[in-house]
Amino acid sequence: MKKLIITLEYPPQVGGIATYIEQFAKALVPEQTVVLAPKQKNGNEFDAGQKFKTIRKNLYWFLWPCWLKLFFIVRKIVKQEKIEIIYLHHILPVGYIGYLIKKFYQIPYLVFSHGTDVEYATRSPWKKNLAQKVMQGAEQIIFNSESLKRRLLARLPDFTNKCTVLYPCPESIFYEMPKAEVIADLKTQYALEGKRVMLSISRLGEGKGITHLVRILPRILQQIPNLVWLIVGDGPKRDYLIKEIQKNNLQNAVRFIGSIPHNELNKFYHLGELFVLLTHPDEGKEEGIGLVFLEAQAAGIPVIAGKSGGVEEGVINGETGIIVDIYQGDKIVADSICEMLKNKEFAKRLSINAQVRMKNDFNWENQLQVIKQWL
């Protein structure tokens, strides 16, 4: 069955949704897969390394309705590539394109939701009505966590029988230990010899807990004075983070790496001794599941994750990692981090359990079974 994946977020853009979609596409039969994604810098170079076909376009017009251009692009691809089914990532406005293509050309579609689109699609009565049309016409509605599925059904309860969960899966490279010289070079580059390394990988935005962790860091350093916090990522909170580091004289305890390509993350996971990301609800928005938590567990690094949305589906508290609630206070969070760093036997047991679970449950062969009739 020839498939067209339509997405607004895709590598080389860095982010969990972009990575999810790329890895999902790679799990499909390449000769039967076409991806439509926005034009972006270095996009063609990235696409050259894929086995499936990728089409890059500027997807919107500057005139209202801006999405109408996308309809004509998709219509042309459907005819030229002989597309038999469409996988739409995001409920609106991409989902509405699928609705129209099905209406005029009888091409079935699946809708994949990743979290932020649920808020957008139910923001107003007009959008909610469009979202209902899209989901009514869909063959199936796919979520990246049970938590996200429940959130949508709380707003649009009529689609229970159409909804299912397909979890993201960590790429196989994260199970592989980098060469010793690669790790040694990184330790030298970032002055990590003799240091305990706490790692965070995230977009530096709201709901990720970065601002909370920089506030809590002095408490942690009181118990673990040779700790270094390694931060990989970028985003709107970057300047605030740097100011707080400087204001509290934490320069010696923090290494800010910035944004790096997804295919280079593995060496940083294996460089860290503990992965910490204090995700939390923010103005009604919550984490879908948190792909970085899955990748960290695949790499065998112990995880402390913030309680938010579907995170507890990816990390089982006390079995494969530790879940903390940032709203319960700084002391509890700091003590949890310090205990994980001090109790190496406990941390090792959690990381082994987590890696086994990732291999058994969070692999594409198993996950794709939930949509096997549409493959």
Q: Which two tokens stand for residue 181?
A: 């010289």
Please state the domain count of the chain: 2
Expressed as residue numbers, the domain containing 323 is: 172-361
3-state SS string over 150-214? HHHHHHCHHHHHHEEECCCCCCHHHHCCCCHHHHHHHHHHCCCCCCEEEEEECCCCCCCCHHHHH
Q: What value does the mean pLDDT take over residues 58-74? A: 89
270: pLDDT strictly greater than 80: yes
43 in a structural domain: yes
Q: What value does the mean pLDDT take over residues 243-262? A: 95
Of the given ranges (34-38, 95-99, 282-286), which has the lowest mean pLDDT?
A: 282-286
What per-residue confidence (pLDDT) applies to 86?
A: 98
Kindly indicate the confidence band of residue 285, based on its pLDDT and cuts at 50, 70 and 90: confident
Axis crossing angle, helix 68-81 with helix 94-105, rounded to the nearest 10:
50
3-class secondary structure, 80: helix
247 in a structural domain: yes
Asked if residue 299 and residue 211 are part of one domain, the reply reads: yes
Nearest to 210, CA basis, from 132, 143, 309, 280: 280
Asked if residue 348 and residue 228 are part of one domain, the reply reads: yes
370 in a structural domain: no
pLDDT digits (tens, 9 = 90+) for 149-172: 998 898 888 899 999 999 999 999
Q: Which span out of 13-17, 209-213, 280-284 was modeled with the highest average pLDDT?
A: 209-213
Asked if residue 185 and residue 101 are part of one domain, the reply reads: no
368 in a structural domain: no
Q: What value does the mean pLDDT take over residues 73-88? A: 98
Kindly indicate the confidence band of residue 355, based on its pLDDT and cuts at 50, 70 and 90: very high
371 in a structural domain: no
Asked if residue 265 and residue 116 are part of one domain, the reply reads: no
- The domain that holds 13 is classified in CATH as 3.40.50.2000
Asked if residue 55 and residue 92 are part of one domain, the reply reads: yes
* 125/24: higher pLDDT: 24
What per-residue confidence (pLDDT) applies to 128?
A: 86
373 in a structural domain: no
Q: Could you give the CA distance from residue 74 to residue 320 in angstroms, rounded to a whole number?
A: 42
What per-residue confidence (pLDDT) applies to 351?
A: 98
* 118/231: higher pLDDT: 231
What per-residue confidence (pLDDT) applies to 115?
A: 74
93 in a structural domain: yes
Geometric angle at alpha carbon 366, from 347 and 29, rounded to 5°: 125
pLDDT digits (tens, 9 = 90+) for 172-216: 999 999 999 999 999 999 999 999 999 999 999 999 999 999 999
In the listed set 110, 145, 166, which residue is the last one of a domain according to the structure?
166
Of the given ranges (12-16, 315-319, 325-329, 338-342), which has the lowest mean pLDDT?
A: 12-16
In the listed set 166, 193, 225, which residue is the last one of a domain according to the structure?
166
Its pTM stands at: 0.94
- Burial label for 38, CB within 10 Å (0-12, 13-18, 19+), is middle
What per-residue confidence (pLDDT) applies to 67?
A: 87
Q: Could you tell me which residues are beta bridge partners of residue 335?
A: none
Cα dihedral 20, 57, 65, 283, rounded to 10, equals: 30
273 in a structural domain: yes
Asked if residue 29 and residue 55 are part of one domain, the reply reads: yes
What per-residue confidence (pLDDT) applies to 104?
A: 96
What per-residue confidence (pLDDT) applies to 58?
A: 95
Asked if residue 249 and residue 124 are part of one domain, the reply reads: no
One DSSP character per residue, 334-374 reads HHHHHHHHH-HHHHHHHHHHHHHHHHHHSSHHHHGGGGGGG
Answer for the pair 4, 34: CB distance below 8 angstroms, yes or no.
yes
62: pLDDT strictly greater than 80: no
Q: Could you give the CA distance from residue 168 to residue 364 in angstroms, rounded to a whole number?
A: 8
Asked if residue 347 and residue 314 are part of one domain, the reply reads: yes
Asked if residue 221 and residue 308 are part of one domain, the reply reads: yes
pLDDT digits (tens, 9 = 90+) for 240-251: 999 999 999 999
Q: Which two tokens stand for residue 281?
A: 């609800």
What per-residue confidence (pLDDT) applies to 322?
A: 98
339: pLDDT strictly greater than 90: yes
Asked if residue 160 and residue 126 are part of one domain, the reply reads: yes
Asked if residue 199 and residue 56 are part of one domain, the reply reads: no
Q: Could you give the CA distance from residue 12 to residue 47 in angstroms, rounded to a whole number?
A: 9
pLDDT digits (tens, 9 = 90+) for 126-145: 888 888 999 999 999 999 99
In the listed set 166, 199, 233, which residue is the last one of a domain according to the structure?
166
Computed over every residue of the chain, the mean pLDDT equals 95
Q: What value does the mean pLDDT take over residues 279-306? A: 94
Asked if residue 224 and residue 148 are part of one domain, the reply reads: no
Nearest to 16, CA basis, from 119, 118, 130, 169: 169
Q: Which two tokens stand for residue 86?
A: 């469409």
